[in-house]
C-alpha cells in the first residue's frame, strides 16, 4: 500500500510537471493499468505509464515485455503516443515506447494542489 501511495504521488507530480510545460492532463480511469496519465498539448497526445523508484537510478527495463505490449495496445486504442515516464527521486525522463527516444526531462516539484484520495 505504501508503494502505491508513493507511485500515485509521483503520477500527480508528473501531471503537474506537464501542466507547467503547457499540457493538459488527467489520470486514466482506473489507473493501475498500462496508462496512468493522458496528456495533450496541441496535436500531441500521450498515453503515459509512470514508473517510479526511490533508488538513485532508473532504467528503461522497468517495463516487462508484457507491460510494453499492453501499453502499445492500449495507446493504439486511445490514439495516443505511448510514453514511459521514468521517475527517480524528483527527476523525470519521458521516453517513447518502443523506440526509447527521450522526448522530455526535468525536475519534479512538490505537489501544488491537494487531490482527492479516491
- The answer to whether 8 touches 36, Cβ cutoff 8 Å, is no
CB atoms within 10 A of CB 28: 18
Write out pLDDT tens, residues 15-27.
Answer: 999 999 999 999 9
Write out pLDDT tens, residues 28-55.
Answer: 875 567 999 999 999 999 999 999 888 7
User: How many angstroms separate the CA atoms of 82 and 71, rounded?
Assistant: 6
Domains and CATH numbers, the chain: 2-107 (3.40.1350.10)
At a CB cut-off of 8 Å and minimum separation 6, what does 45 contact? 38, 39, 78, 79, 80, 81
pLDDT for position 55 = 79
Chain centroid to CA 2 = 19
pLDDT for position 20 = 96
The secondary element (H helix, E strand) that includes residue 67 is: helix 65-78
The pTM of the whole model exceeds 0.85: yes
Does position 113 have pLDDT exceeding 70, yes or no?
A: yes
Amino acid at each position: 500500500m505504501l508503494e502505491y501511495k508513493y507511485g500515485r504521488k509521483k503520477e500527480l507530480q508528473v501531471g503537474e510537471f506537464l501542466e507547467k510545460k503547457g499540457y493538459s492532463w488527467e489520470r486514466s480511469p482506473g489507473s493501475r493499468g498500462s496508462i496512468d496519465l493522458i496528456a495533450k498539448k496541441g496535436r500531441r497526445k500521450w498515453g503515459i505509464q509512470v514508473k517510479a523508484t526511490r533508488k538513485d537510478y532508473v532504467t528503461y527495463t522497468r517495463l516487462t515485455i508484457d507491460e510494453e505490449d499492453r501499453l502499445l495496445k492500449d495507446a493504439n486504442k486511445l490514439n495516443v503516443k505511448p510514453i514511459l515516464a521514468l521517475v527517480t527521486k524528483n527527476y523525470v525522463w519521458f521516453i517513447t515506447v518502443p523506440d526509447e527516444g527521450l522526448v522530455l526531462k526535468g525536475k519534479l516539484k512538490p505537489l501544488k494542489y491537494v487531490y482527492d484520495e479516491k
